[in-house]
Amino acid sequence: MKEICEQFPSTKEGLQVDKIDIGKLTPSILQLFNEIVENYLKLCNSPPESPPPKTECSSLLLKIESALNYVWEQLHTGQWKDVDPVWRQLYSYVSLFKTQVYLKLDEDTSLHLADAIAACDMGLIMGEPILDGFLSNIASKINEKLWESSQNKITFKENQMEIESGIECYPQLNTENLIETVHAPSIETFLLDIMNKKPIIITGAMDFWPAMGEKRWSVSYLRKVAGYRTVPIEIGSKYTDDAWSQSLTTVNDFIDDYILTPKKGKGYLAQYQLFQQIPQLKNDIIIPDYCYLGTCDDINVNAWFGPRGTISPLHYDPDHNFLSQIVGSKYIRLYDEKVTSSLYPHEQELLFNTSQVDVEQPDFEHFPLFSSAPYVETILESGSMLYLPPRMWHYVRSLSTSFSNPTNCFAKIVSYVYLASVVQNLKQKQKTRFDFTNIQISRMHITNPKAFAIDQLVKYSVSFVVNCVRI
Ligand SMILES: O=C(O)CCC(=O)C(=O)O
């Protein structure tokens, strides 16, 4: 572990703690933080021949826990978006110190590696990026170590997978209601004929993604890249159910408990900015060029990973939305904004964009107009993406993949990885889910996106078509 420990900043300057706006901190937490920094630096700089006694590490860990508890309270007071970033910054720093203490404790054994990576991930999930992605680099290195050591043991249950019983209910699609499909439309076609006008399934625009090819997102690949990483998951069939809740778990446990042998009910790694936390996975996907047509600088990329049978109730988002299906398939039904009154949106403020109707088992007595609301539908298969204009109502249920090619390692395990990228800003729905900060993916260098005129887009469309052909 030595080589990982040595990468930690070991001076005050290296830590860049002077960038923290300490004026916003209370005197008690500031004093505790300063003490922790001093102890941490001592720990980093202790000579290898006389490592700090374990008692010193333990007392530092106690201080760290108190600081984390204090900051946790601040993070959970009021709405997430209103929390001052200084608390999130502090949470990341203290998590960094905690990670280092566990790694130091681990120098001769590997008993604390799991604690170290968990500390790192908590810093990433609850905190703010610090020191140029330091925590995510360290977490990925620890994951690699843990994965390598697991290769000698049979720790996972791939060989004990349950063969799925029963066939997930495939809906009977009405051929008159199908969503139109188009093969790799040019940017120009997309801009002039599709964008803001209609939903469409786009094929041929993901074939070259590493996640669809040489880095195929199988269970073993996800275990290798992210198995020991802690992530937030949703528990329960749908976010409108009373019993729905959220929890933190490692990717390995999520795969074992909710994907391979779902013994704990439905679990969904849903609408989560996984790529900010685990940038290696981001390299496996390519943001669709169509996303760059908006005038907004931010592109949110969320991951959705779960077993069959997860349901996202009928709802709409304010943004353009590309749902890109990487593995598996989903049933999707869409309703136009014009028929909103027939969809009976919830009256509570937080769920104003979610329908009260259970789309596949509607209660017509309570929701009579729903029966005549026109809709379009599809089964979105792996390799296709669905474009949704803003405010288009959508209902999504994941389907069995048991018919898959048996050479596909997802053939029996009935799971899917699904990724949506959204042009523009935060989805309203996030208020009801883990409300993390936006991911910012670097975009094409358009110096002034607002001045991005149609004729430039048309030129760009030509180069996009050439790209497609080349690929
Ligand atoms: O795939 C899902 O379960 C939901 C997707 C969705 O609702 C969205 O991207 O807005």
Atom of ligand 1 nearest to the CA of 312: 3
Measured CA to CA, the distance from residue 355 to residue 408 in angstroms comes to: 36
pLDDT at site 78: 82
Residue 193 tokens, joined? 């004929």
Mutate-to-test residue for ligand 1 from 394, 421, 432, highest number of ligand atoms within 8 A of CB: 394
pLDDT digits (tens, 9 = 90+) for 11-35: 999 999 999 998 999 999 999 999 9
> Which residues neighbour 69 within 8 Å (Cβ) at sequence distance 6 or greater?
none
Work out the average pLDDT over 118-133.
94
Residues touching ligand 1 (Cβ under 6 Å) are 304, 310, 312, 317, 321, 323, 330, 394, 396, 418, 420
pLDDT digits (tens, 9 = 90+) for 397-435: 988 532 122 222 222 222 234 443 333 222 333 333 333
- Residue spans per domain, the chain: 2-150, 175-470
Which residue's CA is minimally distant from atom 9 of ligand 1? Answer: 420
pLDDT over 50 (residue 311): yes
**Average pLDDT, rounded, for the chain:** 79
pLDDT over 70 (residue 327): yes
Atom of ligand 1 nearest to the CA of 321: 9
Give the strand order in the sheet containing 415-423: 181-183, 200-203, 385-388, 320-327, 415-423, 299-307, 267-272, 230-235, 245-250
Query: What percent of the chain shows pLDDT beyond 90?
Result: 51
pLDDT at site 284: 92
Query: What percent of the chain shows pLDDT beyond 70?
Result: 79
Q: What are phi and psi of 307, to 5 degrees?
A: -80, 175
pLDDT over 70 (residue 258): yes
Atom of ligand 1 nearest to the CA of 306: 3
Q: Are 392 and 401 in contact (CB under 8 A)?
A: no
Work out the average pLDDT over 106-128.
88
Which residue's CA is minimally distant from atom 4 of ligand 1? Answer: 312
pLDDT over 70 (residue 138): yes
Which residue's CA is minimally distant from atom 10 of ligand 1? Answer: 317
Atom of ligand 1 nearest to the CA of 418: 1
Confidence of residue 152 (pLDDT cuts 50, 70, 90): low
| pTM for this entry | 0.79
Fold entry, domain 175-470: Jelly Rolls (2.60.120)
pLDDT digits (tens, 9 = 90+) for 332-344: 999 999 999 999 9
Ligand 1 geometric centre to CA of 432 (Å) = 14
